[in-house]
Structures are given as C-alpha cells and as structure tokens.
Structure 1
Amino acid sequence: MFIDILIEKNPKLIQTALSLHTNGTIMPDSYIIDVDIFKENAELIKAESDKHNINLYYMTKQIGRNPYLAKILEDLGYSGAVAVDFKETEVLMKNNLKLGNTGHLVQIPSKMIGKVLKYGTEIMTVYSFEKACEISEEAEKLGIIQDIMFRILDEKSSIYPGQEAGVDLCDLEDITKKILTLKNVRINGLTSFPCFLYNETNNTIEKTENIGVILKAYNILKEKFNIKVKELNLPSSTCIENIKMIKENEGTHGEPGHALTGTTPFHVNRKAVEKPAYVYVSEISHNFRGKSYFFAGGHYRRSHMKNVLTGSSYENLTKVNTEDFDPNNIDYYLGLSKEQKIGDTVLGCFRTQFFVTRSDIILVEGIQSGKPQIIGRYTALGERIEV
C-alpha cells in the first residue's frame, strides 16, 4: 500500500532493512521502525496540534505497545496514552508511562479498576452506569474524584464490528441523572469512534456523523445539567492533515497512532507531511507451482498489501505483486505472483497493527545519518527481547 511512498520519502530505511536482513542481523517476520523518522513525525504532529490548541493522547497498539517509543512521545510533550484495551494499560503502567484516556475502545475490567485509579489516569471512558458505579466505589477508597467520559452514539453512528458499545444519545439524560448521584466520579468528557475517515474517492479526510452526536450530547449536558465538559475527544485518522478539522469541529483532543509512522490511509497521498517510518522484512522461503512464498506472521487483514520489494541488493530490488490472502487462515506464508530466488529479502510497507501479529519489532536509530544502530528488539506486545 505504501511501497511507492516509502521508496520516494524514506529510501534509507529500505537500504538499512535490506542490509540488516542480508547480513543475518535480523530474521524474517520483523518490522523495522526508523526511530528518527518516527520522532520527526511526532514533532511535526505536536507542532501542528500546539498551533490549534489541540491536546494529543498517543496510541501505541499500532507500534506494538512499544514503551521506548512511548517515552519519546511523552518527552515531546504528548499528554499521555490512549490505552485502547486493558492489556495495553498494563504494559503502559509497567513502564511508568502516563495514562491519558483508558477504557476506550475496551472497558477496564471490574477487578482492575482500583489498580488503574491508584496508578492514575487523566480520564476514563465508560459505556454504562454500572461501570461508573464501579469506578466511583474504587475512587472513594482512594479518596479521589475520577473524571469519566461517555462514548456517545445514536442509531446513525458508525460502529465497527467488535466495537459495539457506548451510551445511546436517547439514554444520555437518564444515565447522567444516575451518575450525578455518585460522589467520586465527574462527567468531564465525550468521545466517539470513528470521528474522521479517509475518503479514497476524494483523497481527503472527512468527518463522520459521530461528531454531530458528540456535539448534541455536549449541548444536552450543558443546557439540562449545567455540565460543561472539558474534553471533546475526536479520534481516528489524527494527523497533520486533520488536526485543524478537530478544532473546527469544536474538538479538544486527538489520538495519533498510524500518523506517527506515516501510515494512515491518507498517507498514500504524496502531499501527506508525515513519512513512512516502518518496513516489514521477510525472506523468500520457497517456490511452489510457479509462485513464490515468503515467511509471514505480520499479516493484518486490512493491510491492503498489493506488492513488495524483493532482491539481494538495493540495485536489483524488484517490485512484485502479492497474492490475495484469505484471513480465515493462518499466515504461515504469504504468496507472490511469480517465482523468486530462495533466500532473497522481502520488504513490505502496508497497513498493520503490530499488536495483533507474531512479528518482532526492531528499533533502529541513525538510519538517516547513515549510521544505523539497533537500540532495541521487542515483541509485538511491548516486551523487550534480550539477545
């Protein structure tokens, strides 16, 4: 999906990845992250958000919950992490990182709430009165008042399968009345997902109907309950291209994830500012019935992978079409349209979510200065690999 953009905007990453594989430093099924470009992207996104007074919660699931990269973001002034599931929350806490928004897209389990509140989280997204009760009970034990945020939806809202959850707009007044009886939580935010999506036809990022629902909920809370929430969190596709749009739609927060590696769907567009910061590395395993197969493990069913580069030197790298892969199967191998030389390097750049893969994550600094150095090897779930 991003191979041509990678060739154009970050050829040094290609050269480095090829070298690290051909000399045996890294094995197939690895993602190499160009830490310098990652940081450059993060700085540019932060500068744009500062210009429009938008706060940023960084997202780590796409980069394998990686604590080293998360620390870079915090040092740059990002407000903290949006922990989209409770296992990511655990990794962040283990590495002493800031929790910004927890509970969205996945709620914090009942028996974990006390641990998270004791550690500290800026705000916690809730889907129900019952979850708010649990949070209030644990907050009371700690002697604190915890800010909470509704994920708000209506019958027209966009919802992805596996993410069916939230407070229906028609139920907002009822749940608000109930929560106002709780002493140790404070309604202080509204969010939804997705609030922006890439329109491939127009090559633009556009707002979804979910934003309108958030603004309706904001007015209900303000006019009927005198609650003026501080946070209107408008996530999805957060990047330099749409930060101004967040502000124009009365948002206060964004949640960059793929933009940090220059790989949102919008980044097939050459005018996108952020550069590709990762490449997938594999190797031709074998040929079979006129096609070639490479070691896999890093496949993501929404990858939109169409082609890869393969070869043994930078000068002889060839772009080869990939075969469609049925996501009902395990990606032991992925196929190429024609035979290649066994042992050659395979390089891909496509949409992914590291945390749902079996891949190793290799962090490399110094690529852009011509002095590449591996500074860490991690699992796709953020655990450091000792070599």
Structure 2
Amino acid sequence: MFLDLLRRRNPALVDAAIAAHQSGELPANTFAIDLDAVTANAAALSAEAARLGLTPLAMTKQMGRNPDYCRAIMAGGIAASVAVDMECARATVRAGMDLGHIGHLVQVPRAEARAAADMRPANWTVFNDEKAREAAEASAASGREQPLLARIKASDDEFYSGHEGGFDADGVLAVADRLDSLDSARFAGITTFPALLFDPRTRAVRATRNLATLETAAKRLTDAGRTGVQINGPGTTSSAALAALAGAGVTQVEPGHALTGTTPWHAVEDLPELPAVCYVSEVSHLHDGRAYCFGGGMYVDPVFPPYQVRAVVGREPGATALLPATLPPPAAIDYYGQLDLADAPTVSVGDSVVFGFRAQAFVTRAYTAGITGVASGRPRVVGIYAADGSTTSWPA
C-alpha cells in the first residue's frame, strides 16, 4: 500500500536504500529513514500547529526511537516527545528531546515512577487515583510539582482492543479536584485516544466519539471556573487535520506516522507530509519458484484490510522488478519473507529488496538507519541503531 506512494512521491529513497545496501552501508532487516524529508514533515506540522496555537509532541516509537530521527524532528521545530512507554522516554531524552508527555498509552509502572519524575515530563497521564498518587509521590521525591492529565472515557467511546481505561468522564470535576489535592501534583488537563480515525469508506479522517467526550468534559471544567486546561487529542495526525482538532478545543497534538507520511490517510491522498521510510531486506535463497528475503521487521501495522504486499527487487536503482510478496502471518516468527518469481526469474541471491508498509519498528528486531541527502542525490547513511534506539556494533 505505501510502496506505491513511496515510488511516486519519494522514489529517490528507494534508490538510495538499494545503493546503500549493495555498497554494504545498510544491513538487511533495516528501516531506512529519509531524515531530510522527516525534518520537512516536522516543519510543516510545527508551522501549522503554531498557527493554530497547538503544542505538537512527537511520537517516535514507529521508527524505533532512532536518535538521528529524533534530531531530524527537532530540526523541523518539534522539540518534545510523547513517550508511549519508559523505553520511549529514556531514548528520546538521550537523543536530546524534552519529555513532553508520558503515561499514555502505557501507564508508568510503580517501580519506575521516580525515574519518570526525574526526566521532568511536562505532562503525565494517569488512568486512576492509584497511578496519580504514585506520580505525585515520585514527583515529591524528585522535588517538583507534576502536571497530570486525566485519561477520561465515556460508555460509547472507541478504543483499540487493549487500550481501554481511564476515569469516567461524567466525574471529571471530582477527578480534577482529587488530583489537585495531591502533594507535588496538580490537575492539568484531559486526554483520550484516538481523537481522530481514518475511515476507509470516505477515505478521510473522522472525529471519534472520544473527541466529543473531550469537548463535553472541557466545557464542564471551564463552566466550573477552571482555566488553562490542556486538551490532549492524538490520533491519525497530519498537518491537514490540525485545524479540525483546534476547532474542537484540542491544545496538544501528537504526530507519529505523519512524521514519515505513513498514516492511512497519506496512503489515499497526497497530504503535505512526504513518505520518508522504507524497509530494506536482501534475497537469502531461492526455493520452488520463490525468493526468500531476510525478515525481522515484517510487522505490518494493520490499518487496512489484507492486501497484496509487493516489493522492489534488484541491485541497481532503476533496474528493478516489482514482485508480489508474502509475509509471515502474525502468529509466525518472521525469519523470511517470500517473493513470487513467476514474472522475474532472474532474481539472484544478494539482491536488495525494498518494501513500503506502515511500520512499528519498536516491536520488531529490525535495525533503523537515517539517511541524509536523498533528495539532492548525495545520500549518506548517518548511523545504524537497534529497534529500541540503542547503538549497535554493526558491522561487528
């Protein structure tokens, strides 16, 4: 799905990835990131957010919290990250980003609360009173007052399976009072996920019921005399969607896939953000009319119904074949992907294989690598990192 988009809007990244792999600069099983495109995407998001009075926080897990990726985002004007978990927080802080938000989607484990507080997050989301107390106690030990966001929910809100939880929205005034009563913490605002979702029928994003829940809760807080309430509204973010979020009262947005131009909306409409990532593999062996290529990062984020995955295969940019591919099912370990050779019998062991799909690098065992100079025709691999953003010894 995203390979077609990549070949049309940023074909130079495909060429750069093949050239770097063939020269030995990129290993197989690597997400190759066009850092200049990421900076441009971040700049588009940052500029629109500034125009609308929104605070953008970058979600970096999709690219494995790669530090060069983090720095490219900062160069585009987004200085702070949203950490999906503690590993996200540590990696983005190491990369030099401010920690803008922690605790949402994944709550901070009790034993790590002090570590979270010491990173001085601007916002800390809690789902219940117990987690609020943990955050307050950790912040007291760290010598600071922590702004807390309350994750709220209503009966007909929409959540991905396993993402449920939060305070009942009807009780938001009492929740705010309870959080304010904690030593070393205070109520700062409310959040949900997702506020926007892609609708395949209309091929556009739509507001979820969750966004209406935020609006209603925010009005209750304002009517009760509270001011400066932060409204955090992540989900399917593009610069093209920010005006709708601002119109609903949202104050904080959290672009993730928009930074690499890979939200489902980007797949069906040319939005301001360019596609900026591909997955690079290598033909390992041939068997029974198929070429097997190395896996490790073949988790395809399932935002679309099943579709025919394809890959570009070859050794020279421009001299490649586009082949149907079969990836292992989620229940299997992705040791290899398979390419159908019916229309390309000349594929050889060692050929580069380039996929374009919606990535979640942090849940894989893939490498990530930033490349600069793609658009100028002078690509350079900046560094190779593990899927958690840590350094690697590749090549050993």
Both proteins in one fold, TM over 0.5: yes
Is it true that 1:231 corresponds to 2:230 in the alignment? yes
Q: Describe the superposition over 1:142-165 as per-residue Cα deviations: whole angstroms up to 9, x where unpaired.
A: 443211001111111111122222
- Mapped partners of 1:25, 1:92: distance in 2: 25
1:97 Cα shift?
2.5
Q: Partner amino acid for 1:250? A: G
1:245 Cα shift?
1.1
Pairing partner for 1:328 from 331, 347, 357 = 331
Say if 1:378 and 1:142 are closer, same or farther in 2 by CA, change over 3 A.
closer
Corresponding residue for 2:258? 259
1:336 Cα shift?
2.1
Corresponding residue for 1:338? 341
1:351 Cα shift?
0.5
1:53-68 paired onto structure 2 within 5 Å: 53-68=53-68
Q: Partner amino acid for 1:109? A: P
Corresponding residue for 1:8? 8
Is it true that 1:77 corresponds to 2:80 in the alignment? no
Question: CA RMSD, aligned part only?
Answer: 1.9
Q: Describe the superposition over 1:37-80 as per-residue Cα deviations: whole angstroms up to 9, x where unpaired.
A: 11111111111212222110011101111222223333443251
1:291 Cα shift?
2.5
> Is the contact between residue 71 and residue 95 of structure 2 (CA under 8 Å) also seen in structure 1?
no
1:3 Cα shift?
1.4
Is it true that 1:315 corresponds to 2:322 in the alignment? no
- Mapped partners of 1:74, 1:285: distance in 2: 37
Corresponding residue for 1:246? 245
Corresponding residue for 1:306? 309
Corresponding residue for 2:382? 375
Q: Partner amino acid for 1:325? A: P
- Mapped partners of 1:319, 1:372: distance in 2: 23
Q: Describe the superposition over 1:173-232 as per-residue Cα deviations: whole angstroms up to 9, x where unpaired.
A: 4434433432321111111001111112211111111001111222233334x3335311
Say if 1:135 and 1:25 are closer, same or farther in 2 by CA, change over 3 A.
closer
- Mapped partners of 1:184, 1:229: distance in 2: 19
- Mapped partners of 2:138, 2:29: distance in 1: 43
1:1-387 paired onto structure 2 within 5 Å: 1-224=1-224, 226-302=225-301, 306-323=309-326, 325-338=328-341, 340-386=347-393, 387=395
- Mapped partners of 2:76, 2:21: distance in 1: 31
Say if 1:25 and 1:73 are closer, same or farther in 2 by CA, change over 3 A.
closer
> Is the contact between residue 302 and residue 351 of structure 1 (CA under 8 Å) also seen in structure 2?
yes
Q: Describe the superposition over 1:303-338 as per-residue Cα deviations: whole angstroms up to 9, x where unpaired.
A: 566111112223331211122531101000112233
Task: Report sequence identity in percent.
Answer: 31
- Provide the secondary structure at the position in 2 that maps to 1:159: coil
1:84 Cα shift?
0.8
TM-score (norm 2): 0.92
> Is the contact between residue 86 and residue 107 of structure 1 (CA under 8 Å) also seen in structure 2?
no
- Mapped partners of 1:143, 1:379: distance in 2: 34
Instruction: Please say which of residues 135-144 and 261-270 is displaced more in the overlay.
Output: 135-144
- Provide the secondary structure at the position in 1 that maps to 2:318: helix
TM-score (norm 1): 0.94
Instruction: Please say which of residues 297-306 and 7-16 is displaced more in the overlay.
Output: 297-306
- Mapped partners of 1:281, 1:91: distance in 2: 23
- Provide the secondary structure at the position in 1 that maps to 2:326: coil
Say if 1:247 and 1:348 are closer, same or farther in 2 by CA, change over 3 A.
same
Say if 1:138 and 1:22 are closer, same or farther in 2 by CA, change over 3 A.
closer
- Mapped partners of 1:208, 1:174: distance in 2: 25
How many residue pairs end up in the alignment?
Answer: 386
Say if 1:138 and 1:27 are closer, same or farther in 2 by CA, change over 3 A.
closer
Q: Which runs of 4+ in 1 moved over 6 A?
A: none
